[in-house]
């Protein structure tokens, strides 16, 4: 049995699909499980003990080039089973064209009904369960049944060796020193950015949170502002506050950490050493929680963006706190903006709310 799983979307999406491999291996130990993913997700799934191989899908390639690349993947892998979990649709067509007899996954758009003969209709926008659970339920045509009581058992895993962590952290401290940053302090990660269209907390509030920590614990912490180049818009308000003249004293204890520069494995090794992570609904938040870092995360009240569907699946609930605006939101997929009586609802989460929860974690 050779099973190819297509989850060619963002990092967080790939993470929440990865437990499918564990569930398959428990039922069929001799099965070979291969994930078709985008290049940016490779580092989080690499070394997963339940995934035998990773294949890269270049979604930005030209149409005919993509067809050719996907066809070669199917020719080399020779899957007996194929699952579409999300992302690029072309592999669905190639799976049919290649004669794969078992073609499962999400039935949504018309072509999934055409090409997936073992697919399952799921109305995920109804948010009756978590995204990971939706994915696991796709395995039922393989006679694999998911039970809610096993949710923690199937929570995602990321494997980093102690040597990898130590080596990367050592090089990171050298980078801090060369940047004029004082390295020998406990670290707090602040990640203000996200991908996709989910609502976010104000970037200025992330800066105010840094100042709140500094007020309570003068000169105690190193603040790592985690980001990627695509997060630049989320850094503007934060920098506007932290770069003010009256905050110059923080200059040697704030480090803007571009997670793409040295790769995600390096980034995760540094994140593993932090005492706290604060961020919105994004893949990095999932990674922090999986690594066992205490996480305070801020989620939208919109149904399809909610933590019920997209929240981190933590093995240790004592290290995870999800904050959501205290409003009655009737929206399913996107904000109605000024037509909503709770417009700018994310501002209802005060800096003090996040800070108080962070203190609880730091006192554990």
Residue 64 has pLDDT above 90, yes or no: no
Q: How far apart (Å, rounded) are the C-alpha atoms in residues 35 and 22?
A: 12
- Burial label for 65, CB within 10 Å (0-12, 13-18, 19+), is exposed
Question: For 259-317, what is each residue's pLDDT tens digit?
Answer: 999 999 999 999 999 999 999 999 999 999 999 999 999 999 999 999 999 999 988 88
Q: What is the pLDDT of residue 301?
A: 93
Per-residue pLDDT tens digits for 204-231 = 999 999 999 999 999 999 999 999 988 9
Q: Residue 224: which of 175, 190, 186, 266 has the closest Cα?
A: 190
Joined tokens for residue 14: 């790939």
- DSSP state at residue 332: S
pLDDT in tens, 92-147: 999 999 999 999 999 988 889 999 999 999 989 889 999 999 999 999 999 999 99
Alpha-carbon distance values, 105 to 4, 32, 85, 135, 259 (Å): 11, 17, 5, 8, 32
CA 43 to the chain's CA centroid: 12
Say what the pLDDT of residue 66 is: 87
Report helix, strand or coil for 45: helix
Is residue 181 helix, strand or coil?
A: coil
Instruction: Return mean pLDDT, the chain.
Output: 93
Tokens of 233: 């818009």
Residue 210: the pLDDT is 96
**Packing angle between helix 232-242 and helix 203-216, nearest 10 degrees?**
40
pTM: 0.94
Tell me what pLDDT residue 336 has. Answer: 80
pLDDT of residue 60: 82
85 pLDDT exceeds 90?
A: yes
Q: What is the pLDDT of residue 334?
A: 85
Q: For the chain, which domains are there?
A: 2-150 (3.40.50.2000), 162-363 (3.40.50.2000)
Give the rounded percent of residues in the chain with a pLDDT score beyond 70. Answer: 100
In the predicted model, is pLDDT for residue 192 greater than 90? yes
pLDDT for 188 equals 97
What are 153-176's pLDDT values in tens digits?
999 999 999 999 999 999 999 999
Instruction: Judge whether residue 363 has pLDDT over 80.
Output: no
In the block, tokens 């090089």 appear at 171
3-state helix, strand, coil in the chain (%, to 5): 45, 15, 35
Checking phi first, is residue 99 left (phi over 0); if not, alpha (psi -120 to 50) or beta? left
Cα 262 to Cα 242: distance, rounded to the nearest angstrom = 25
* Residue 364: predicted pLDDT: 63
Lowest pLDDT segment from 58-62, 64-68, 92-96: 58-62
């Amino acid at each position: 049995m050779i099973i190819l799983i297509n989850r060619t979307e963002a990092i967080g999406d790939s993470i929440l699909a990865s437990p499918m491999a564990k569930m398959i291996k428990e039922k069929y130990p001799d099965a070979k499980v291969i994930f078709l993913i985008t290049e940016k997700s490779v580092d989080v799934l690499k070394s997963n003990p339940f995934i035998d191989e990773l294949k890269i899908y270049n979604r930005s390639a030209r149409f005919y080039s993509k067809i050719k690349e996907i066809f070669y993947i199917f020719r080399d892998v020779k899957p007996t089973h194929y699952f579409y979990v999300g992302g690029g649709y072309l592999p669905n067509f190639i799976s049919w064209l290649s004669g794969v007899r078992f073609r499962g996954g999400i039935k949504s758009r018309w072509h999934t009904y055409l090409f997936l003969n073992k697919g399952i209709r799921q109305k995920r926008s109804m948010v009756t369960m978590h995204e990971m659970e939706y994915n696991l339920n796709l395995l039922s045509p393989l006679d694999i049944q998911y039970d809610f009581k096993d949710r923690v058992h199937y929570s995602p895993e990321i494997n980093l060796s102690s040597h990898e962590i130590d080596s990367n952290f050592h090089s990171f401290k050298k980078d801090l020193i060369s940047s004029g940053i004082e390295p020998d302090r406990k670290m707090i990660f602040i990640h203000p950015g996200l991908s996709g269209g989910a609502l976010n907390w104000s970037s200025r509030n992330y800066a105010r949170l840094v100042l709140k920590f500094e007020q309570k614990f003068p000169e105690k912490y190193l603040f790592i502002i985690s980001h990627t180049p695509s997060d630049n818009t989320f850094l503007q308000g934060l920098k506007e506050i932290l770069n003010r003249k009256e905050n110059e004293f923080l200059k040697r204890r704030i480090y803007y950490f571009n997670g793409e520069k040295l790769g995600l494995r390096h980034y995760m090794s540094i994140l593993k050493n932090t005492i706290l992570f604060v961020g919105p609904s994004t893949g990095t938040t999932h990674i922090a929680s999986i690594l066992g870092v205490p996480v305070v995360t801020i989620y939208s009240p919109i149904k399809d963006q909610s933590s019920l569907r997209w929240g981190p699946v933590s093995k240790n609930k004592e290290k995870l706190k999800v904050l959501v605006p205290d409003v009655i939101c009737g929206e399913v997929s996107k904000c109605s903006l000024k037509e909503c009586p709770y417009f700018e609802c994310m501002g209802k989460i005060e800096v003090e709310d996040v800070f108080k929860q962070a203190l609880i974690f730091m006192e554990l």
